[in-house]
Amino acid sequence: MLKRIYFIFLVFISFSINTFAQGIDCDNADPFCAGGAGLVFPNSVGVPDSGPISCLSTSPNPAWFYLEIDQAGDLTFTIQQSTGGFDASGNPIGVGLDVDFVAWGPFSTPASCGLLQDCAPNCGSNTSDPNYPYGNVVDCSYDPSFVENMTILNASVGDVYLVLITNFSGVPGYISLTQTNEGQPGAGATDCSIVIQNQACQGETLTLDATTQNATNYQWFFDDGTGPVQILNGNFPTINATSTGTYNVTITLSNGTTDSYTEFHVLIHPNPDIPPVPDIELCDDNADGQMFFDLTQNEAIITQNEPNPNQYIIDYYASATDLTADNPILNPGNYQNTIIGQQTIFVLATDADTGCETETQFDIIVNPDPDVPATISDLELCDDDTDGIATFDLTDREGDIMVNQPTGTTYDVSYYASASDRTNGVPITSETAYPSTSATIYVLVEDTATSCTTDAQFDIVVNPLPNVAAPVPSIEECDDDSDGLMFFDLTENEPFLTQNAPTGTTYTVTYYSDAGHTTAITTPTNHQNNPANQQTIYVLVSDAATGCETSAEFEIIVNAQLPTTAPAPYELCDGDGDGQATFDLTTLDNQISTDPTYSYSYHATQADAQAGTPTVANNYTTGSTTIYVRVESSAVADCYNVVPAQLVVVPDPVVPTVPDLELCDDNTDGQETFDLTQNEPTIVQNEPAPGDYTVTYYASQNDLNNGNAITTPTAYTNTTPDQQTIYVVVEDSNTACTSQAQFDIIVNPIPAYNAPAPLIICDDGGGTGMAEFDLTDATTQITGNAPNLNVSYFETQLGAENNDPNDEIGPLYTNTTPYNQTVWVRVYDINTGCYAVDSMDLQVNDAPIANTPPPFIYCDDDNDGVGQFILTDLDDDINNDPNVTITYHQTQANADNDVIPLSSPFTNTVNTTQTIYVRVEAPGISCYTTIAITLQVEDSPQPVLAQDLEPLEACDANGNGSEVFDLTLMEADILANETNPSDFTVRYYTDAAYTQEITVPTAYTSNGMNQTIYVVVEGLNGCTGETSFELIVHPMPSYQHPQPLELCDVNNPGDEMEAFTLEDATLDITNGDNSLEVTYYATQADADAGTNPLTSPYT
């Protein structure tokens, strides 16, 4: 809004706000400081107006800044704006531009946009309002001048103030801000460190950019504190800065102006000075190439060149990639290397104040301990003199200890008699001739290059000689051919020879034919005696673990053989069809021999019999086979004979699975008479000579056990109703072997079904009482979905009884007797073959009436094509019979199937026009009629909402609080949403119930100074919409006539022309009422029309 002052005192009404909008500009405020040299920056243009803020009626082209107090006291600033910037003395170049501002504070941080307060409507520009601050608004001016003064009183160190500067004219230019009381007693100062944006670290280059539109020359000066020195002069809008100091540039514009300048403060910080960092080495304690390092132990070296070591932030990185990604090691005091053996650690030292950094690196090294095998074999000697002591050369194990060491490495090996000697560093001095009992030797291996060590140990063992029992028993065999020679298994004595071996110790036995142990027997498990009848065997027993040996000897002896007779074959019936029988083998003993000194054992194979194990049970269950009987005599030691015996299992008759016999129950008593012999051909079908077999039938298992056979198997009536098991015995007359079987005799009931319910359908519209029935619709009701039942339909009972195909009907059947007819149903059990016959009625009923109503109209409030229809409002139009049931459905299928009825009210699912379906169903007879109806959504007028309509306003010319309004002036605004406003009728009402219509809207006298007018808009389709607007009668502004503005004729004396600042009369006219806006005109006509306002200064 323009700053207008109407000389005829037109009133500007200011609306206050309670909250201040937090814009992105405030959240991104830039820092600034202002000393005696001032701050110059380009103004903002093209930025949207944020509306009234504090004393500012408008806030176009805002620029947000914040300052921080460095020295406590009062601060006064001059803010100027011009089109051409400012010369070296701070004077504006070009045309001055209206500049305005608001300042808030104090705050603790720049991030305080949410705390900004608004002082409107109580505050005005500081040129006319001496009462600042208002809350945290410390100063504000909306004066129409290009020079403003801003004051901050009693500022404290660290306080932050937020400042909004606006460019009222929107013309591009420059703004300067200068502290005018700098250095004066009681004056505060701003902290310029917050605006030193041009900082860099040693080795970096800063590019300073002073590019200015229409500039032709840039003269650059550098001041390192000793005074400014020119460094460049020419067309150099940018330069690279590498040194700390102040860079100033004087800019010459194309119009010849050369006193515009820009200043840059540059600070170059040194990087941390780091000397070379040594590697850290540890010995590997678990041979995995990894250890935990304290990386921080190098920090004293890293920071040794910095007087204040705490100034540096030291970060460690596991790789160059981690350094680049700034992914430091989180626990450098206890870091485990991730690269086996050796890893480079990258170090970044950062100056905590400047952020400048220096990189270095060092290695962490895991030196391997000497690689000594985890297990060193024992050093063992035999106790030849049984005193438990032997003399050892400990260095015999040095090759095993050093087997893994790489070529070229040097190690020292020391031996210790005990763990305490190892701890105390007391080694064995006589390591090549060390007398000892069995003991543990402790070993220390040291890498002479890295001083890393490994401990190990091995045992020295004095092994005892094998303890062999004596005397060793002889081994005897029976002579199989009376030549005195037999093959012996000498190892039979090994359990005796090794019985004294300690637990965990293994003795090995070697056999010899001579006492000097020079001729070894190479096949001790199959050795033939030499000489005949008896031989001495010589033995060496060795400890397999130690190799220590003891000698022994025993005799092998050949004895004579036992006489036996082979038994006859032993036969038994199978009995259960498994091809096996249980034989009592002891019945064979007396057939083999009657010698009382003999004993017998039974074996599955000849080899088992010869070995004497394993045996089979005396009651031996098996199929037909040959077993072997081992016969031994208590009179002849170690002599036996093996006799074969044949066992024969005679097969039982082979009887297949016997089928059940079934009959239908003709009198529902569960009993029928069966011919059991119907199954006899099946029972003996597997036999080559069926005549050799007899079949006997039994009524129960108990009868079979007691031999009570059925005497009349060809005419047997079951004694157990419905189902009974018959037991069968089949006997082979040649072998007397038998088999058993069984089958059931079953009396099946007639099918169980549901009595057929009448089939009822609606007349197809012919009115004849005839209709086509789908008879299968009755099947599920009759069978109850029983899978074993089949249903067929017949016109007569006789046809159903005989299953006459010529009488069968369906599945589609049209009744031949109008309205009611009886047909016959045959229900057949597919599992039993039994059936039942019953009757079923067919019934034809008339369908109910359904009238089709006209389209059902709904006026749509929001014109989205969707409305809520009260479907039940159509019931009486369709059928007013209270006994019928009316339901509504989205599809024809849903209506036909009477599923998914629609609820009422119903919201249409197809925009604007939708067809739905109505089902009218008569009670109790399953008859219905369906029709389609149309739902139509009509658009309603969309008058502009009340909150979006501007009020009709008038000035209270006669002071009575009422004015005459032409309400129809609002019609265009009310119908702004409609494409064809002429299609609508607008009516006006004084009440919200729309009962008091205004009959002459073109000349309506308002009821008071504020009144709401209620509006109804009706379309051609009869749909309506409502809105409202306000009538406002404004009181005339209160003002006073100003004193004349007078100036002396000093500019070209005599022409009576001077430049008047018209605004100097404003305060006199408004009497300080900031709600009034004053604009000045040259004529009464211009003022009445509000055209051609004068600008100030006005000559």
pLDDT in tens, 258-297: 755 667 778 888 889 899 999 999 998 888 889 999 999 9
pLDDT 10s digits, 737-761: 888 899 999 999 999 899 999 988 8
Residue 20 pLDDT class (50, 70, 90 cuts) = very low
C-beta separation of 463 from 546 below 8 A? yes
Residue 197 pLDDT class (50, 70, 90 cuts) = low
| pLDDT above 70: residue 1000 | yes
Tell me, yes or no, whether 145 and 45 share the same domain: yes
Residue 331 counted as domain residue: yes
List the domain range (segments joined by +) for residue 606: 570-618+629-650
User: Which CATH number do you get for residue 555?
Assistant: 2.60.40
**CA angle, 118 as apex, 117 and 122 as ends, to 5°?**
135
pLDDT at position 451 is: 85
- Helix (H) and strand (E) counts for the chain? 17, 66
Residue 1090 counted as domain residue: no
Tell me, yes or no, whether 489 and 549 share the same domain: yes
Tell me, yes or no, whether 783 and 829 share the same domain: yes
| pLDDT above 90: residue 1029 | yes
Strands 453-463 and 487-488: unpaired
C-beta separation of 393 from 476 below 8 A? no
Cα–Cα distances in angstroms (integers) from residue 569 to residues 564, 621, 624, in the given order: 16, 16, 10
Q: Is 583 exposed, middle or buried (0-12, 13-18, 19+ CB in 10 A)?
A: buried
Mean residue pLDDT of the chain comes to 87
C-beta separation of 1027 from 862 below 8 A? no
| pLDDT above 60: residue 4 | no
Cα–Cα distances in angstroms (integers) from residue 611 to residues 606, 608, 631, in the given order: 9, 5, 12
pLDDT at position 168 is: 92
pLDDT at position 35 is: 55
pLDDT at position 659 is: 93
pLDDT at position 259 is: 56
C-beta separation of 704 from 740 below 8 A? yes
Tokens of 709: 């056979």
What percent of the chain is predicted at pLDDT more than 70? 96
Residue 1079 counted as domain residue: no
pLDDT at position 290 is: 92
pLDDT at position 329 is: 95
Confidence (pTM):
0.34
- Cite the DSSP H helix spans in 222-330: 299-302, 320-324
How many whole angstroms separate alpha carbon 209 and alpha carbon 228? 19
Tell me, yes or no, whether 80 and 178 share the same domain: yes
Residue 926 pLDDT class (50, 70, 90 cuts) = low
Residues 6+ apart with CB under 8 A from 848: 879, 881, 884, 920, 921, 922, 927, 928, 929
User: Which CATH number do you get for residue 164?
Assistant: 2.60.120.380
Tell me, yes or no, whether 60 and 180 share the same domain: yes
Residue 229 counted as domain residue: yes
pLDDT at position 1079 is: 92
C-beta separation of 350 from 313 below 8 A? yes
Tell me, yes or no, whether 426 and 491 share the same domain: no
Question: How many domains in the chain?
Answer: 10
Which of 939, 957, 984 is the last residue before a domain boundary? 939
Tell me, yes or no, whether 42 and 154 share the same domain: yes
When pLDDT is averaged across residues 463-468 and rounded to a whole number, the result is: 89
pLDDT 10s digits, 42-77: 888 888 888 899 999 999 999 888 899 989 999 999
Tell me, yes or no, whether 870 and 834 share the same domain: no
Please indicate whether residue 687 or residue 318 has the higher confidence score (pLDDT). Answer: 318
Residue 4 counted as domain residue: no
Residue 1 pLDDT class (50, 70, 90 cuts) = very low
Residue 683 counted as domain residue: yes
Tell me, yes or no, whether 292 and 441 share the same domain: no
Which of 193, 219, 241 is the last residue before a domain boundary? 193
Cα–Cα distances in angstroms (integers) from residue 235 to residues 213, 214, 238, 257, in the given order: 13, 12, 9, 15
Residues 6+ apart with CB under 8 A from 272: 306, 312, 349, 350, 351, 356, 357, 358
Tell me, yes or no, whether 841 and 959 share the same domain: no
Residue 765 pLDDT class (50, 70, 90 cuts) = low
Q: Give residue 704's Cα distance to chain centre.
A: 72
Residue 439 pLDDT class (50, 70, 90 cuts) = very high
pLDDT 10s digits, 963-997: 899 999 999 999 999 899 999 999 999 999 999 99
| pLDDT above 60: residue 834 | yes
Cα–Cα distances in angstroms (integers) from residue 1047 to residues 7, 1061, 1066, in the given order: 19, 10, 17
| pLDDT above 60: residue 643 | yes
How many whole angstroms separate alpha carbon 490 and alpha carbon 525? 6
Residues 6+ apart with CB under 8 A from 62: 23, 25, 44, 47, 50, 164, 165, 166
Which of 719, 748, 777 is the last residue before a domain boundary? 748
When pLDDT is averaged across residues 371-378 and rounded to a whole number, the result is: 90
pLDDT at position 148 is: 94
Tell me, yes or no, whether 882 and 989 share the same domain: no
Neighbours of 1093 (CB within 10 A): 18
Residue 196 pLDDT class (50, 70, 90 cuts) = low
Lowest mean pLDDT among 369-373, 383-387, 443-447: 383-387
Residue 2 pLDDT class (50, 70, 90 cuts) = very low
Residue 2 counted as domain residue: no
When pLDDT is averaged across residues 893-906 and rounded to a whole number, the result is: 92
Residue 518 pLDDT class (50, 70, 90 cuts) = very high
Please indicate whether residue 1038 or residue 1022 has the higher confidence score (pLDDT). Answer: 1022
Coil/strand/helix, residue 590: helix
Residue 15 pLDDT class (50, 70, 90 cuts) = very low
Coil/strand/helix, residue 42: strand
**Among residues 646, 673, 653, 650, which one has the least CA distance to residue 661?**
673
Dihedral sign, Cα of residue 715, residue 718, residue 724, residue 727:
negative
Tell me, yes or no, whether 150 and 45 share the same domain: yes
Bridge-partner residues for 478, per DSSP?
559
Residue 656 counted as domain residue: no
